[in-house]
Structure 1
């Protein structure tokens, strides 16, 4: 049986690709920033790690919240965080410490879009084979990150490292707009009670 995507799947695939454009920005400009900011290898590595540290901190919160509220809301927050982190790197970052902050925000933004994007599909697809839709969505991770390296390299060669972050910030912002405009909100609320975050439940995990 031929796979037929729902009306939501193509939009989420486009959003997924756009949201991932900021994934490789720092990796592409790393050596340039090392020279300009006189960073040690340790400092360069810590900035790269800040992206994944922000991602790690955001994942359990964003994923847990999608069971309580519409994942679309989480996605919009994630897109806003990623856009802010990239713009901060392009406009405001001028040393090791500011780069740490903005890269962590960028990583948290990615966490707020990737898994919530899966939840957006699973909450709205009621017919057909959901596993195939999810397989297409996860496969686009490689496409999005590949475009991130490609586009970042092009921009760096032509305009400089600040433009890499500034222009690529349009990616997660576009993803935010796609979800905001083309993905309808759920017709029912998932949870009406208060939301409690219990850290003692997270630590064992």
Structure 2
């Protein structure tokens, strides 16, 4: 059964704009904890491993639930999955504000938040790309993945700024309100579509074998996993890193680390879009491999930069942040374009689930290395944590090049 593409009835630009706004709104609870991590280290008496688990469990629960939720979008209209995800996100944010008092309660509501993200991020992209075609779909993917960066930036800014004026719970109340607004937007902008009846309906939508046999798609998925290891290790720990690195610098600068990260993540939006445009012009594989190799080098450089003047250190972190996100849209577009239309939902499910293994392990792995070499107040520990992240990042492009040769 086929339906008319929704872009024939409504402007594709309007749909892209509002779904990107909704994505930004649902992101407000994702990095709120990370932006307040220096505060929670003292408030809850955490060590680096504890903090890594609270950050990482979010992506662990995402990794497990996204495989099912996104696969179902080949059968059920992705809009329905998205709305369910937004409701879970709303509950997780309000629950964190009301009930979290330490490590274990934080683990519980962060895990719930990860399920909410699994129901919104890739299902939102699927709902968007199902209603577009051609270059509109390719560019929509670029803008949508960049919106993840915009939402991340605001999450850092709100979380880091709230502590100066209000109790920390206020940031999670704001995140819950944003989720409610996203729910209203998607309900209004996206028209509902009937369930798909065919080879991917029912439980057959959970058949992952076509994706696992697609070596081209699996190469991009491998890249996505190592990219996410670096991205979420970086975003989970960069506020703490800057707080430590800038504490011993007397350059007269008094900038909140969360504000620096806010602007850094904002810069990641155009870098992701530019990376995708370069990939369209000069070849996706060449651009992605190049960006990831340069990012690995910069990870090692940043880890060895404690003691630099504040302006130089901040500039270096901002440049590194651009390379961290520069390959994001290109990788996701590579996955989508390598999938057949009937398997696009399940391909995105495998992409998200395997990809977020890296997201889950990144904050935890970074914290483990940090703890092993002396903790978050030791310069050498930061060097080894960043360096290990750069080395792990390179696994992705190596597997991409290998799998491209498999028929």
User: How far off its partner does 1:134 sit?
Assistant: 1.7
User: How far off its partner does 1:81 sit?
Assistant: 1.1
Is the partner of 1:169 in helix, strand or coil? helix
Match of 1:195 in 2: 203
CA contact (8 A) 1:18 1:144 kept: yes
Match of 1:46 in 2: 53
2:133 counterpart of 1:135 = no
CA contact (8 A) 2:72 2:205 kept: no
Q: How many residues align?
A: 200
| Residues 127-173 of structure 1, C-alpha deviations (whole Å, 9 max, x = no match) | 76321122111121111111111111122221121111122222222
Moved more, 120-129 or 138-147: 120-129
CA contact (8 A) 1:152 1:168 kept: no
Matches within 5 A, 1:1-205: 5-126=12-133, 129-186=136-193, 188-191=194-197, 194-195=202-203
Moved more, 162-171 or 4-13: 4-13
* Whole-angstrom distance in 1 between the partners of 2:121 and 2:39: 29
Match of 2:307 in 1: none
CA contact (8 A) 2:29 2:93 kept: yes
> Which structure carries more helix by proportion?
2
* Whole-angstrom distance in 2 between the partners of 1:34 and 1:129: 45
Q: Which has the higher contact order (CA 8 A, sep 6+)?
A: 1
Structure 1 unpaired stretches of 5+ = none
CA contact (8 A) 1:32 1:161 kept: no
CA contact (8 A) 1:69 1:191 kept: no
Is the partner of 2:130 in helix, strand or coil? helix
Structure 2 unpaired stretches of 5+ = 1-10, 213-353, 355-407
* Whole-angstrom distance in 2 between the partners of 1:199 and 1:136: 29
* Whole-angstrom distance in 1 between the partners of 2:205 and 2:104: 29
CA contact (8 A) 2:74 2:205 kept: no
* Whole-angstrom distance in 1 between the partners of 2:116 and 2:67: 13
* Whole-angstrom distance in 2 between the partners of 1:111 and 1:105: 10
CA contact (8 A) 1:81 1:109 kept: yes
* Whole-angstrom distance in 1 between the partners of 2:18 and 2:129: 14
| Residues 49-97 of structure 1, C-alpha deviations (whole Å, 9 max, x = no match) | 1111111112211210111100001101111111111111111111211
* Whole-angstrom distance in 2 between the partners of 1:93 and 1:135: 36
- Greater Rg over alpha carbons, structure: 2
**Shift in alpha-carbon separation, 1:109–1:125, aligned structure 2, 3 A:** same
TM-score, scaled relative to structure 2:
0.46
